[in-house]
Amino acid sequence: MADDEIQTRTCRACGAAYRYPVLKSLATRFHCESCVRLDAATRETFEQFNKRIKQLSAELAQLQRRTAKETQPTDG
C-alpha cells in the first residue's frame, strides 16, 4: 500500500474513524482532526480513557459470549 493512499484510521484518543491523509485536514496518523486540536495533556487523558473503554468492551463481549453459551442449550 502506498504511503500517501487515503486510509480509514481509528483515532487513538476518541476512537472515531477518520480518513487519512486528507488535504487541508489537520488529522495525523494517530489522531482525528478534533483530537489534534486538543492540547497534549488532554489528548493523553483521552487516550487512556479510550484504552480502558476498549479493554472493557472486549471484556463485555467475552462475558456476553459466555452468557450466551450458558443460557442456550447445546443443539448440535
Site of interaction with Zn ion (CB under 5 A):
11, 13-14, 16, 32, 35
Residue 28: φ, ψ to 5°: -110, 180
Our CB check for Zn ion shows the closer of 49 and 62 to be 49
Q: Residue 20 CB, nearest distance to Zn ion (Å)? A: 11
Our CB check for Zn ion shows the closer of 22 and 63 to be 22
Our CB check for Zn ion shows the closer of 10 and 55 to be 10
The answer to whether the CB of 54 falls within 8 A of the CB of 48 is no
Residue 8: φ, ψ to 5°: -95, 120
Q: Residue 68 CB, nearest distance to Zn ion (Å)? A: 32
Nearest to 14 by CA among 43, 56, 57: 43
